[in-house]
Amino acid sequence: MPAPVTLPRLSWGSVSSPRRALLVHGLGSNGALMWRFGTALADDGWRVDAVDLRGHGTAPRALDYSIAAYAADLAETVPDHSGAWDTVIGHSLGGAASTVVAAINPGWTRRLILIDPAIHLAPRDRNIVQGSQTRSFADPTANAVRAEHPTWHENDIELKALSARQASRWAVEQTTIQNPAWDERDAARRLVTPTHIVASDPEVYSIFTGDLATAVLTNPAITMSVVTGAGHSPHRDKPDDTLAQVRDALAGN
């Protein structure tokens, strides 16, 4: 793997909690935008850490923005500098990078939950993602986010605007350029860690759907549910339904 950088963290919950969770955001976002999971799991008695990925938030900048590089950073991110996470929750790019780490090192986490993960980006999805990032950088204000996502919580609106101002535009652009295939299906096939995918509604917009979902679900370690009525960020579009599905997955249901 490429040389790692150390990722900054935000935390929710008691440091004495025996259950530890890691939250990994998507492209162009930051750790703070995973707050729905952080607050909910902390209320359930977890200690939760969210990271800023390289080139995002306040994380170190670098030259390498391959998925392998994002994964290298996550592989070095462990609870209290040792041991395994009880669960890792990764959204979009964060889901892809987390999949790579768990495939290489099954001891990294005891359970993996992927939120509409970007396991593979087809050309159509690549264009949609690039368009979304272009709009975010063109007008990184709360008013612009609110106009595009009027049903989001004010925390999400504020933090989405902040994440666009914090992120390196070059890093975000390089993430698509340096991953021309953007294909981690082989890593998903090799997963032995119990994994649940919370996918978005394809009637709205989902990256994880169709033939991709069919192929990945041939792995018996992976299960899937769908958040009806939610787009690519279900924890912001339909937070209650998304959290219910995450809690079911953590309970082994």
Number of separate domains in the chain: 1
Is residue 2, in this structure, part of any structural domain at all? no
DSSP per residue, 222-237: EEEEEETT--S-HHHH
Averaged pLDDT, 146-166: 98
Contact 253, 246 (CB under 8 A): no
157 confidence band (pLDDT: 50, 70, 90): very high
Is residue 1, in this structure, part of any structural domain at all? no
Q: What is the CATH number of the domain that holds 197?
A: 3.40.50.1820
pLDDT above 80 (res 165):
yes
pLDDT above 80 (res 42):
yes
Is residue 235, in this structure, part of any structural domain at all? yes
Is residue 31, in this structure, part of any structural domain at all? yes
253 confidence band (pLDDT: 50, 70, 90): low
Domain carrying residue 208:
9-250
Is residue 102, in this structure, part of any structural domain at all? yes
Is residue 185, in this structure, part of any structural domain at all? yes
